[in-house]
Structure 1
Amino acid sequence: MTEVLLPIAIGLVYVLLSSLIPEPHRRKFNALMVAGAGAAYLSGGELGVWELVFCAVMTLAAFRGLDSWTFIGIGWLLHTAWDVVHHLKGAPILPFAADSSFGCALTDPVIALWAFAGGRSPWAWLRRKTPAAVDG
């Protein structure tokens, strides 16, 4: 159960921390994160030249993500698919953690859903849901 809940929690923490960055810097920061995710498997090279092709596709998604939350979401879903391929091949993102690609495949869609929703900060929503302190 932990191998499922922890990656989802990591995705939620990423969203909460990333939301502290004001716009438009938040979107640009997340586009850079997509670009970095695209290069995450390069050092392993398990899929040969396809690792380079994937990196190029992710770079394009990141570039388009500079102006579009939709492309940031697309980038995270692409990375999810790449995580699944690496997990099935037995080539994890962290060589010392066998299920790390599986975990990443659960974290990435959480971030993607947030991006598809426009990368809005949940802090304002959380503040509205918290009852105001009563002076007494």
Structure 2
Amino acid sequence: MRYLAPLLVGLLYAILMSLLPEPRRRRFNAVMVAGAGAAYLSGGGLGGWEFAFTAVAACVAYRGLESWTFIGAGWLLHTAWDVVHHLKGHPIIPFAHDSSFGCALCDPVIAVWCFAGGRPPWALWRRHRTDEFRGAGRSALRKETAPVEE
């Protein structure tokens, strides 16, 4: 459960965020990644580096207002920061020792969703299946209608 729960939380995040219409979905996720960048600010245990990371995360989140790629990059930056806190700093939730570890597993799931354009997961699957069938239908159709050479 230590590994599965954070992955499921990331998937649940993508599903719930998919209920927001575009472009609000992208802008809201830019705000979320900015907030994640400041999550350790009040006690992460890394001193001035907490402020530096928050500044970098804010810049990336600002670019994310217009780009899913930057939002995904922001989640990957936060993943790296989670790993640093798990190994050297304080956990994101003070009373849950492995909370930074869990966050480091959850964030890449969200990042992959963002790199896919923040589309609803069911639309991505449907598009993939439709393209797969279209491609098969086209090649079969070409073989049937190809002119016969004598």
2:10 and 2:120 map into 1 onto residues whose CA distance is 14
1:1-136 matches, cutoff 5 A: 2-125=1-124
- With 21-30 and 88-97 compared, the bigger mean Cα shift is at 88-97
Note the residue ranges of structure 1 that are not aligned, 5 or more in a row: 130-136
Deviation of 1:122 after TM superposition, in Å, equals: 1.8
- With 44-53 and 63-72 compared, the bigger mean Cα shift is at 44-53
Deviation of 1:123 after TM superposition, in Å, equals: 3.3
1:97 and 1:81 map into 2 onto residues whose CA distance is 19
2:45 and 2:111 map into 1 onto residues whose CA distance is 25
Alignment check: 8 A CA contact 2:79 2:104 kept? yes
Describe the SS at the equivalent of 2:106. helix
Larger radius of gyration: 2
Deviation of 1:3 after TM superposition, in Å, equals: 0.5
Describe the SS at the equivalent of 1:92. coil
The runs of 4+ residues in structure 1 deviating greater than 4 Å are 125-129
TM score, norm. by length of structure 1: 0.90
Note the residue ranges of structure 2 that are not aligned, 5 or more in a row: 130-150
1:127 and 1:119 map into 2 onto residues whose CA distance is 15
What one-letter code is carried by the residue in structure 1 that aligns with 2:35?
G
1:86 and 1:101 map into 2 onto residues whose CA distance is 7
1:126 and 1:22 map into 2 onto residues whose CA distance is 18
Describe the SS at the equivalent of 2:94. coil
1:5 and 1:104 map into 2 onto residues whose CA distance is 12
What CA RMSD, in Å, does the superposition of the two structures yield over aligned residues? 1.4
The count of residues paired between Structure 1 and Structure 2 equals: 128
1:26 and 1:41 map into 2 onto residues whose CA distance is 24
Deviation of 1:125 after TM superposition, in Å, equals: 4.8
Describe the SS at the equivalent of 2:2. helix
Alignment check: 8 A CA contact 2:46 2:89 kept? no
Deviation of 1:89 after TM superposition, in Å, equals: 1.3
